[in-house]
Structure 1
Amino acid sequence: MIVVDGVTKRHRDVVSVDDVSFTAEAGMVTGLLGPNGAGKSSLMRIMCDLDRADSGSVTVAGRRYRDHAVPMRVVGAQFEGSGAHPSRTALDQLRWVARTNGLPPARVKQVLEMVDLQPGTWRRRVRSFSLGMQQRLGIATALIGDPQVLIFDEPANGLDPVGIQWLRGLLTGLARDGRTVLLSSHLMGETEMIADRVVLMDRGRLIGQGTTEDMAREHGSLEAAFFARLESSRRQGTDQGPGDRT
């Protein structure tokens, strides 16, 4: 489970996350949705202690990320691309991650197979990978610790239609196994197909949350629900204008 409680983050005079609270439950896929600049990535970075909140708190599996003895065994995270140095091979990257986190070497081959990277690519340098292949390697890195909580930032970027279908099955399968799955996206239609719950953000603020089914039923689609909440939020003057948020 991920519990976000009143998180606010400023970058100088810019508010990137503004008093956001929600819970991502185990056994569910939770979609964190919003346009570019909504604050999704900033919030995920705070979850993984890559950045610090100015106020509020986030716990992952009952603790702050940094308080877990071996965080990768509890929380797996994928941000844009693979996170690997371009000169490394996929195999070397995952072996290094496994070794530095005390994970079994056998797990390297397992996760490469899980993300459907073909054996012929394992010894290629990451600089030669397509964006889709880098995304798969990043997902493999997130999975290597066999964590109960998984955080994915725009994981469909760079994937072709076959890759998106594969990703859909992977994420829903992880949730069926009882894991907490949180993904950010601006692809409303795709998220509607896989997310059990959604959290809607715009310019750092929470503008709605609930089950995907209820939102789609109320408005006809998740996309329509998002734009209805967006229009209502802005009409009520809850945003501070395009120059004040990132």
Structure 2
Amino acid sequence: MTDHVHDLRSVREATDRLLTAVAKLDNAALAGESHLPGWTRGHVLAHLARNADALVNVFEGRPMYESASARDADIERDSGRPLEEQLPDLRDSGAAFLATTEPAQDWSRTVELRNGVTDLAANVPFRRLVEVELHHVDLDIGYELADLPDEFTGREIAFLADRWSGRPEVPPTALAAADGRTWRTGSAGDPAVTVTGTAAALLAWLAGRGDKGASLTAAGGPLPALPPL
């Protein structure tokens, strides 16, 4: 069962790590390429700030974003700002999200996210944690997938493995981390392929990041191709 109090504490800790790291950058670094194709580090930071705003909307019963095009336009608009604007926006928007979670509320209620996706309010803090942690890695400033907390890595692997479960284009697949943790994904049936490697490498493959599975070992068939996120 999701523990939103625990997840909110993790969001605070992850946000503090991110803010500390970003404060060490300069404007030239913000203009540099991130790990995300076509996005500078400034794009990543703008996305994180506007995502925090969007999750405030979710908690307050408004549409997460006005539209997909408005979301993209806001990120593009804010991507080129100097550090003296990016950093306080990142801090203040993150604080506003956390403040929205503080009043007593029904955490078992269903909320609406993007593209008609719904979830329990209690799961939203973990969704924010995913944004903060993975995009910290995407900034390409020294925080790597292997640096992510073990608990987070395991939970995100489980979340993504579940996302691809039941997909007919993905063969039934067993996932085995070097530390002994296991998961399952893909279509129904006994696993046809077993994919093994470090937890960080499994996460990289499932999330379309890092070496995208190049360091994994697949037994029983080739490494399955995954749909885009």
**Normalised-by-shorter TM-score class:** under 0.3
What TM-score does the superposition give when structure 1 sets the normalisation length?
0.25
| Greater helix fraction, Structure 1 or Structure 2 | 2
Considering Cα pairs closer than 8 Å and 6+ residues apart, tell me whether 1 or 2 has the greater RCO. 1
**TM-score normalised according to structure 2 size:** 0.27
| Higher share in strand | 1
